[in-house]
Amino acid sequence: MIDPISDMLSRIRNAAAVKKAEVVLPMSKLKYNIAKILEREGFLAGVEIINPDSAKNKTAAFAELRLVLKYHNNGQSVITAINRISRPGRRVYSGKEKLPVVVNNFGIAIISTSAGLLTNKEARQKGIGGEVLCSVY
C-alpha cells in the first residue's frame, strides 16, 4: 500500500455509502490521530484500538483501529465528503496566512504541523501552517 491515509479515507467513504456501523483498519499513530480529530469534531461516534491479544482472531499480529460511524436521524451519514488533498505524488503545503477554508467553515481540513495534527481552525488560531492532509464536511 502506497498511501495508508488515502486507504483509510476510502474505507470510511465506502462504509458510509453502504451505511455500515463501523470500519476496522490497520492501526498507525497517524491514522489514530486523524480519527481522534474526526471524533472530536463530531464526524465519528467513536474510535477504539483493538489489540491483537483481545481480538476475536487470535492469529492477528498487529493492532487494528475500529471507527464507529455517525449518522443523522434520517439515516444519512454525518460525513458528506472526505477527500485527500496532499498525496505522495503531490504534496500540498499551506502557510499560516493561506490556510484552507472548507465549505465556508462548515467543514474542516486536517493539517500536519510542527505542533502535531490540527484542524484548519486550530492552526489559524495558533498561527502555524503545514501540510494539508484532507478535508471533511
Long-range CB contacts for residues 118-121, cutoff 8 Å, separation at least 24: 118/37, 119/37, 119/41
**DSSP E strands, the chain:** 22-26, 44-50, 64-69, 82-84, 93-94, 108-113, 116-119, 130-136
Average pLDDT of the residues of the chain = 94
Q: Where are the domains of the chain?
A: 4-69, 82-136
pLDDT in tens, 46-83: 999 998 876 566 666 789 999 999 999 999 999 999 99
User: Which CATH code is given to the segment(s) 4-69?
Assistant: 3.30.1370.30
- More confident position, 13 or 56: 13
- Global pTM reads 0.92
The grid coordinates of residue 113 equal 504541523
Residue 54 is predicted with a pLDDT of 60
Helix 4-17 / helix 29-40 crossing angle, nearest 10 deg: 40
Fold of the 82-136 domain = Dna Ligase; domain 1 (3.30.1490)
Residue 107 has pLDDT above 70, yes or no: yes
- More confident position, 55 or 128: 128
Q: Is there a contact between 122 and 128 (Cβ–Cβ < 8 Å)? A: no
pLDDT in tens, 21-49: 999 999 999 999 999 999 999 999 999 99
Residue 58 is predicted with a pLDDT of 62
